[in-house]
Amino acid sequence: LLNLCLGRTLLVLLLCRIGNSTCPYKCQCFTELQVLCADERMSSLPRDISRQVREVIIMTSSLAYLFSNSLMESPQLTKLIFLNNALKSIHLTAFEHLTELQELELSGNPNLDHLYLGTFSKQEKLNKLLLNYNSLETILPGLFDPLTQLEVLQMKSNVLSDLPPFLFRNLRETFSGLASLEILKLGNNLIGNLTSDTFRNTSQLTELHLEWNEIAQLDDGIFSALANLSVLNLRGNRLTSFADKAFGGEPTNLKELNLKGNRLTELSLENLSSLTDLTLSDNQLSSLTENLFRNLTSLERLDLSDNQLTSLPEGIFKDLLSIEVINLHNNNLTELDSKLFQDQVLLKRLYLSDNQLETLQLGLFDNFILRPTVRLHGNPWRCECQLWYLHNWLIQNLQDVELLDLVACERPDSLRKRTLVSIRRDQLVCHRSADWMSEPNSCSLQVSNDTVVVRCSVEKCSPMTVKVQFQEENGEVREHILEKESDKAQCSNEMLRERTID
């Protein structure tokens, strides 16, 4: 048994030794196909990379230059990643021998500000190119022309100010004749102007990311060639308006549109009927038209938070039958119509926090089937009899309200800062002012246990109608009407007497 154990130990040591002997100095090899080199003192590429290796990752090194012969001994590589190095310059023919390369990343090099035309001239099999977090200022026309099979291109977090027209003119499959590029990420640059020529020959594009740039205007038809576009991210630009004319005025297949953090005051979304996610938060929207979302019948998530909305049209959500999330956080809403959410039966999340709501209309939440998660904190709730509906709803749906301990009264002073759920229903009283009797045609409510007393002050010659409505659990409403008629004869005599005196 001892001899067997010693034999196994020697075998393990021998295997480890063989593995170490084939792995380049200062690098780690997890398999025979993968090499990782991460050494801050490494200033040149290892020369002893095995011909079996297919993937090489160079991280956090002091490597500053890639010369024409730096990679000539590894033509078999299919994946090459340079991440967070000190690259300053890449020779025009540095990748010339890497004809099998499918994925290439040159990211995180703060001193890399240019790429020579022809750098990727031999990479016809490349399908993924990442050039993120560098200091690239310009991209030369024709740089990507040889990359006929490129599917993913990223140039995030550089200092690009514009893109040359027809930049992607040759990005098409040789046999099918269709553009191969599917994902284009250009976020965190200085891009200000785009033209329709920029996206010529990118008809297969499904994702376009232009967030955190300097785009102030989108010309009509600028995205008209992107028939398969599913995701468009324009967050953090300088847009003051957005119109579906950017797609040529035709229906699109767009699923996700992110316009967060612009300066929007105007919107037109008529032809975006395929949208499922729409983000309009952190803009300058103060009002919305009733038919703005009328054609967005597939919409599931709508974010209108952090705007300047004071009210919403009654039917603005009318046709959003598939909606699951509505976010109205941090606006200036003072009132919500009782029928605002009558068609949103599948709603899962509703955020009304940090507005100016003092009460909620009777029946506002009655049509929800799934008992959505709701946020109501940060509003100046007026804890009087008008709040009965909300109070009852809260008591019955405690587990569905987030940050319930922050849903508190603003008025009256006697209940200020008290949480709504800590108050008894009979404390929600409509207080009448001291001079209420002198106010013509005014009424007050007083609650005592299960009795509601309505007192109205009416002038002798002024008729008044008081309607009392009882709503049953099944939604049926019974209405009782009390009418006070004026004494026409007496009022007529008084009026005649006044005229005579005059």
* Concatenated DSSP letters of 314-367: TTTTTT-TT--EEE--SS------TTTTTT-TT--EEE--SS--S---TTTTTT
- For position 423, what pLDDT does the model report? 94
- For position 54, what pLDDT does the model report? 95
Whether the CA torsion 416, 423, 384, 426 is positive or negative: it is: negative
More confident call, 443 vs 244: 244
Closest-CA residue to 153 (of 93, 110, 201, 88): 201
The model's confidence at residue 492, banded by pLDDT at 50, 70 and 90, is low
Rounded distance, CA 319 to CA 476, Å?
Answer: 24
Range name among 119-123, 404-408, 435-439 with the lowest pLDDT average: 435-439
The rounded percent of the chain whose pLDDT value lies above 90 is 69
Task: With a cut of 60, say whether residue 4 has pLDDT above it.
Answer: no
The model's confidence at residue 401, banded by pLDDT at 50, 70 and 90, is very high
Task: With a cut of 70, say whether residue 249 has pLDDT above it.
Answer: yes
- For position 11, what pLDDT does the model report? 36
The model's confidence at residue 7, banded by pLDDT at 50, 70 and 90, is very low
More confident call, 432 vs 332: 332
- For position 174, what pLDDT does the model report? 46
The model's confidence at residue 274, banded by pLDDT at 50, 70 and 90, is very high
Which CA distances in Å does 42 have to 45, 108, 151? 8, 16, 32
Look-up: residue for tokens 């090489």? 56
Rounded distance, CA 410 to CA 383, Å?
Answer: 7
Task: With a cut of 50, say whether residue 250 has pLDDT above it.
Answer: yes
Structural domains counted in the chain = 1
Task: With a cut of 90, say whether residue 358 has pLDDT above it.
Answer: yes
Looking at this protein, which amino acid is placed at residue 436? W
Domain limits for position 465:
458-501
Q: Is residue 466 part of a domain?
A: yes
Q: Is residue 21 part of a domain?
A: no
- For position 451, what pLDDT does the model report? 64
Long-range residue pairs from 488-493, CB within 8 A, at least 24 positions apart, any chain = 490/460, 490/461, 491/460, 491/461
Task: With a cut of 50, say whether residue 47 has pLDDT above it.
Answer: yes
- For position 172, what pLDDT does the model report? 58
Q: Is residue 83 part of a domain?
A: no
User: What's the whole-number mean pLDDT along residues 57-61?
Assistant: 95
- For position 21, what pLDDT does the model report? 54
Q: Is residue 270 part of a domain?
A: no
Reported as a single tens digit per residue, the pLDDT across 303-323 is 999 999 999 999 999 989 999
Q: Is residue 116 part of a domain?
A: no
Closest-CA residue to 165 (of 146, 182, 142, 149): 142
Rounded distance, CA 392 to CA 249, Å?
Answer: 47
- For position 473, what pLDDT does the model report? 61
Q: Is residue 206 part of a domain?
A: no
Task: With a cut of 60, say whether residue 496 has pLDDT above it.
Answer: no
Q: Is residue 481 part of a domain?
A: yes
CA atoms within 13 Å, Cβ hemisphere of 116 = 15
Rounded distance, CA 35 to CA 44, Å?
Answer: 15
Looking at this protein, which amino acid is placed at residue 283? N
The model's confidence at residue 468, banded by pLDDT at 50, 70 and 90, is confident
Task: With a cut of 50, say whether residue 2 has pLDDT above it.
Answer: no
Mean pLDDT of the chain: 86
Task: With a cut of 50, say whether residue 51 has pLDDT above it.
Answer: yes
Q: Is residue 490 part of a domain?
A: yes
Task: With a cut of 70, say whether residue 246 has pLDDT above it.
Answer: yes
Answer whether 278's CB lies under 8 Å from 299's CB.
yes
Determine the distance from the C-alpha atom of residue 26 to the mean position of all C-alpha atoms in its chain, rounded to a whole number. 44
pTM for this structure? 0.82
Task: With a cut of 70, say whether residue 368 has pLDDT above it.
Answer: yes
Maximum average pLDDT range among 218-222, 281-285, 316-320 = 281-285
Q: What angle do CA 296, 297, 302 make, to 5 degrees?
A: 60
- For position 491, what pLDDT does the model report? 64
- For position 460, what pLDDT does the model report? 67
The model's confidence at residue 16, banded by pLDDT at 50, 70 and 90, is very low
